[in-house]
Amino acid sequence: MAVELTWLGHGTWEITTDGGRIVLDPFLDENPLAPKKADQVEADFILVSHGHYDHIADAEKIARRTGATIIACYEICEYFQRRGIERVCPMNIGGGSRQPFGRVKMTPAWHSSTLPDGSPGGTAAGFLLFFPEGNVYFACDTGLFQDMALIGRAGLALAVLPIGDNFTMGPEDALEAVRLLRPRRVVPVHVNTWPVIEQDAAGWAEQVRRETGVETVLLRPGGSIRL
């Protein structure tokens, strides 16, 4: 079975693998773009990149219903434990962990990470997932950083980059990120959820193709990509 990645709008993904179902940064019930609600998602693992509401909102709800393990920064796992969620896998930047679906490595992200209750969420992160079918980099919420070149050395079948601007990289810096990462394919996210992050995603995709030769995949919420 191939790895199938479905974009649920904003920064939220549902990933089906031979080793289990993963949900990344679940923001569904209050996400205007989400094609499904939190109670319609099945998960064995929930990856949380940082503590902001638009990435963590439905993690607790999904974890309680499904019994999924939350994989996140140490401080975020402590937050969920305080709220009675037992199954957590605390990690931190640069660390990797072997999971049934493959290896997951926590990458740096230039961003903040306050939790919904106001407590500090540690350092914001991205995720590099090593599937047998190929490596996938989720930059999550971040500004551009030169060390993306190091992340790209893993060899990326797919990079998922924010292009919305204002809270994260905008289109120009995301184009530069593609040059550093050199992925086989790239998908833009964290865009057009609200007016403050409205961008011309199709125009960006065309520019990336023209200037880097990297294949861009434009998904609508609910759309999927296979490795």
Where in 40-69 is the site for Mn ion (CB under 5 A)? 54
Least distance between Mn ion and beta carbon 190 (Å): 6
Phi, psi for residue 193 in degrees, rounded to 5: -70, -40
Where in 78-107 is the site for Ni ion (CB under 5 A)? none
Question: Closer to Mn ion at the Cβ: 54 or 165?
Answer: 54
Sign, Cα dihedral of 4, 220, 44, 104:
positive
Q: Count the site residues for Mn ion by CB under 5 A.
A: 2
Who contacts 174 (Cβ-Cβ below 8 Å, separation ≥6)?
144, 161, 162, 163, 188, 204
Phi, psi for residue 223 in degrees, rounded to 5: -80, 150
Question: Closer to Mn ion at the Cβ: 157 or 219?
Answer: 219
Convert residues 2-41 into a mask of x (bound to Mn ion by CB under 5 A) and - (unbound).
----------------------------------------
Q: Is 197 helix (H, G, I), strand (E, B) or coil?
A: helix
Q: Which single residue brings its beta carbon nearest to Ni ion?
A: 52
Least distance between Mn ion and beta carbon 178 (Å): 20
Where in 122-151 is the site for Ni ion (CB under 5 A)? 141
Q: How many CA atoms are closer than 13 Å to the CA of 179, on its beta-carbon side?
A: 13
Who contacts 153 (Cβ-Cβ below 8 Å, separation ≥6)?
none
Question: Closer to Ni ion at the Cβ: 58 or 141?
Answer: 141
Q: Given strand 224-226, what is the order of strands in its sheet?
A: 88-91, 69-73, 45-47, 20-24, 13-17, 4-7, 224-226
Convert residues 120-149 into a mask of x (bound to Mn ion by CB under 5 A) and - (unbound).
---------------------x--------
Question: Closer to Mn ion at the Cβ: 44 or 141?
Answer: 141
Binding-site member from 26, 28, 33, 52 for Ni ion (CB under 5 A)? 52
Question: Closer to Ni ion at the Cβ: 194 or 207?
Answer: 194
Least distance between Mn ion and beta carbon 58 (Å): 14
Who contacts 21 (Cβ-Cβ below 8 Å, separation ≥6)?
14, 15, 42, 43, 44, 45
Who contacts 184 (Cβ-Cβ below 8 Å, separation ≥6)?
134, 156, 157, 158, 214, 215
Question: Closer to Mn ion at the Cβ: 141 or 165?
Answer: 141
Q: Write out the residues near Ni ion by the rule CB under 5 A.
A: 52, 141
- Per CB under 5 A, residues contacting Mn ion are 54, 141
